[in-house]
Amino acid sequence: MSLNKNTNLLFLTFFFSVIGLAQESKKQEKDSLPMQQLDEVVLTGESKVMSLSKKLFSVGTIDQQDIAKVAGNNLADILNYNLNITVTPNPSTGRSTISMFGLDGQYVKVLIDGIPMASDNGMGNNIDITQINLEDVERIEIVEGSMGVLYGDNAVAGVINIVTKRGLENNHKWQLQLSVQEETVGSEYALFDEGRHIQNVKLSHKLSDKTSVAIGGSRNDNAGFFNGYQGKNYVNIQDNAVVNDSLRGMEWNPKEQLTAYGNLNTSIGKHNIFYKIQYYDESVPVYNHFVNGRLDSNTGMPNPTALDQNFDTERVMNNLNITGPLKGPTVYNLSLSHQTQKRYYKQFVYNILQHGIESVNSDDLSQSSEIWYSKGFVSNMVPDRDFFNLQLGYEFNHQTGFDAIATGEYSSDVVENTLENYDFFGVMDFNINDRFSLFPGARFTNNSQFGNKLIWSLSSTYDFSNTFKVKAVFGSAFRAPNFEELFFYFVDSNHNVQGNPNLDPEDGLSVFLNVEEKFRLSDSSMLKTVLKTFYFDIDGKIASIISTDDQDRNLFTFDNVDRSQILGFSLENSLMMNRWQASLGMTYMGESTTIDASEGISSDFLWSFNLQSALSYSIPSINTALSAQLKYTGRSQVVLSGTDGSVVGQTDDFTWMDASARTNITKDLSLTLGARNIFDIVRVNASDTPTGAHGSGGAPSRLFGNRRSYYLKLLYNLNFN
């Protein structure tokens, strides 16, 4: 397959150049510093994009060290540890999406250096988080709450910003990082075709005091999870006939990902320019569980075949960010981005006994989108006033593309759609006194699909002391209807399912109240406690409804009929004490859903409880750090509309725990050993999984993990001049 060949070629090229470089440099590398980047987080060239949101909202940070602890290769490996985020993998498509405060991935916006990321058929939301590679990531910022004013549509539950590492961490001219990671998938592991195999390489170079460049690549070859399934070459033949026992294929299909990236960070005068290019390629084969048992009419012998599929996604991202002073302390921040995403769909007949492709049904580009994006803002516009300040900005987004799958398999007109956004926003600072500030903000959106929309926010902070602070945030945001909800089309003699192009966006409102206090317990220990209360109100929530069309036929479509309210309380504590770091957080959250507001079926608040804890301990004498993370995801319930009114469906509770040890073998070489999913979670009973008119039997469940897995990561880091 072409992807594989490309990958190997790419890596070989890398290695020859890398080995050459290493040999050149060996004479002059006496003065390497200790492995600084693993011991301490050094923020270099910090992005200014998020500085305002830190003032206005509560921001959680996952830094490089946290990522290294769990040997995270992509975002799905680490987001699970966030108290209010649940990662839900879809084993058949290989996608993992998140839910935040019980709201699914469509309500969460994912940004890379402040720029929304192209997703399957949108911009920024409903991202497959396994596609976000963490190799050149400085830190991940998680902002909670409806942030429509600063980030536009779909930032309803919150925003996840991935901040790229800029420059080099120390005074060396070159830095080379190589790592390999071998991981089991449950108990499945083989050098090539079972388990997970990750290779990374990154080379950074400081051209001058003001300019640095980096290039790198990462390959994540996940051979999938069999879990009792027998793989693609399995068929059960009895008495000269194929018996479909549904054991062919895999529980979790394989996935091969390749990321290549480069970036340039430079300063011209006081202006900082950061350019990033990233190429991403992913290949996911989907093996059919069912086998076509046609007999060879010549021989009368079975010639079993299966209709398999392959999804290949390609994405190219070019991001440019320029910041600098405009006049005195007034600064500007300008981002430009061009992103393309293409998904190729191949369907073919796989001959099981002969281990090869018999014929190819289709091999097409099934989805394509191209995005032009720009955002700019000017902050600190009134620097000479203590009492009042202002930030003004714009956001522009132009997206063209088509999605043959989201418009439905039966759609005969796969048309190219264009979506355009012009947004203007402003946030004011009113510093009433030293302790009390108010930040009102507003954004005006003009969208080519649903017209004009105004959203707003109001934040206030009150600092009782340097260590005791209260923050209150009201924010609004909206979720734009997705491609499928707008344009889906499946009409034949028995079906009449159509999207609704007249849908309105869902209005989201959130209220957050944060009380934070820091306690200094001794010279070397500190406790931080945060108490949060939050409330979300999503009105005009899009749900599927049954109506009738102009020919009086039943029409299954979508409308803005539901409403969801979420109320929650959380308490997060973190303690640092000598060599110990510990955290304990818990959330108690309830959701009330009104199904079809006109019929007024509304549920009580359905409550769930989550708990998250992490513990780490370092042993400097042997250069080793130990860590463990635990997350309890409580039973979650949702209201579903059934045939006889509404019913409550639920996903049972489960506990996830990881543990790892990381040690520096030499000053350049470190080793991480760990275990994921220590409690061996695979499927969790769930009565809220969707079942259609053609639902199949079996106890409904959701797949969350692929059994207890072990990993080993070897990282080689070389600094030289």
Q: Which of residues 15-34 bind another protein (CB under 8 A)?
A: 15, 18-19, 22-23, 26, 29
Could you say whether residue 696 binds another protein (CB under 8 A)?
yes
Buried residues in 468-505 as b, exposed as e (16+ CB within 10 A): ebbbbbbbbbbbbbbbbbbbbbebeeeebbbbbeebbb
Interacting positions 200-219 with another protein (CB under 8 A): 201, 219
Q: Which of 433, 493, 522, 621 binds another protein (CB under 8 A)?
A: 493
320-342 in b/e burial notation, b at 16+ Cβ within 10 A? bbbbeeeeeebbbbbbbbebebb
Asked if 155 contacts 98 with a C-beta cutoff of 8 angstroms, the reply is: no
The span of 407-415, 570-578, 585-593, 654-662 binding another protein (CB under 8 A) equals 407-415
**Which of the residues 598 through 627 are near another protein (CB under 8 A)?**
none
CA dihedral 406, 128, 45, 153 (to 10 degrees): 40
Parallel/antiparallel/unpaired status of strands 158-164 and 108-112: parallel
With binding defined as CB under 8 A, does residue 192 bind another protein?
Answer: yes
Q: What angle do CA 220, 226, 228 make, to 5 degrees?
A: 165
Interface region with another protein, contact rule CB under 8 A, candidates 141-149, 500-508, 609-617, 713-721: 713-721
709 interacts with another protein by CB under 8 A: no
At 66 the three-state DSSP class reads: helix
Nearest to 419 by CA among 92, 197, 118: 118
Q: Which of 112, 178, 284, 509 binds another protein (CB under 8 A)?
A: 178
CB of 190 to another protein, least distance (A): 9
Least Å distance between CB 2 and another protein? 9
Contact code string over 340-379 relative to another protein, x by CB under 8 A: -------x-xxx--xxxxxx-xx-----------------
Q: How many residues bind another protein (CB under 8 A)?
A: 78
Provide CB contacts within 8 A for 658, sequence distance 6+: 70, 628, 629, 674, 675, 676, 677, 678
Shortest gap between Cβ of 561 and another protein (angstroms)? Answer: 17
Minimum CB distance to another protein smaller for 290 or for 580:
290
Pick from 27, 28, 228, 239: which binds another protein (CB under 8 A)? 239
Residue 269 carries which side chain, given as an amino acid letter? G
* 689 scored as a contact of another protein (CB under 8 A): no
Q: Which of 6, 8, 318, 448 binds another protein (CB under 8 A)?
A: 8
Which residue from 92, 170, 244, 602 is in contact with another protein, where contact means CB under 8 A?
A: 244
Phi, psi (deg, nearest 5) at residue 254: -65, 165
> For another protein, which is the closer residue by CB, 292 or 581?
292
x-or-dash pattern for another protein, window 554-583, by CB under 8 A? Answer: x-----------------------------
Helices (H), 40-165: 51-56, 64-69, 75-78, 148-151
Smaller CB distance to another protein: residue 455 or 715? 715
Q: Which two tokens stand for residue 486?
A: 């707008």
Reported in sequence order, the residue ranges of 295-408 that DSSP labels E, i.e. its strands, are 305-327, 330-351, 356-379, 388-403
Pick one of 33, 42, 207, 243: the residue that binds another protein (CB under 8 A): 243
Minimum separation from the CB atom of position 37 to another protein (A): 18
Q: Least distance to another protein from the beta carbon of 86, Å? A: 30
Question: Residues 451, 455, 460, CA angle at the centre, nearest 5°?
Answer: 170
User: Any idea what the Cα angle at residue 59 is, between residues 574 and 94, rounded to 5°?
Assistant: 95
Residue with the two structure tokens 């005195």: 328
Mode of pairing for the β-strands spanning 624-633 and 606-619: antiparallel
Q: Could you tell me which stretch among 80-88, 141-149, 192-200, 268-276 binds another protein (CB under 8 A)?
A: 192-200
Query: Which residues, other chains included, contact 110 with Cβ-Cβ below 8 Å and sequence gap of 6+?
Result: 116, 117, 119, 124, 125, 127, 129, 132, 159, 160, 161, 162
Determine the interface stretch with another protein among 125-133, 233-241, 263-271, 503-511 (rule: CB under 8 A): 233-241
Residue 23 CB, nearest approach to another protein (Å)? 6
Question: 3-state class of 27 per DSSP?
Answer: helix
- Residue 535 near residue 101 (C-beta atoms within 8 A): no
Q: Nearest distance from residue 93's CB to another protein, in Å?
A: 17
293 lines the binding site for another protein (CB under 8 A) = yes
Q: Which of residues 87-106 bind another protein (CB under 8 A)?
A: none
Whole-number minimum distance, CB 101 to another protein, in Å?
Answer: 35
Give the separation between CA 248 and CA 454, rounded to whole angstroms.
52
Q: Output 6 or 578, the one with its CB closest to another protein.
A: 6
* Dihedral pair phi/psi, residue 198, rounded to 5°: -125, 135
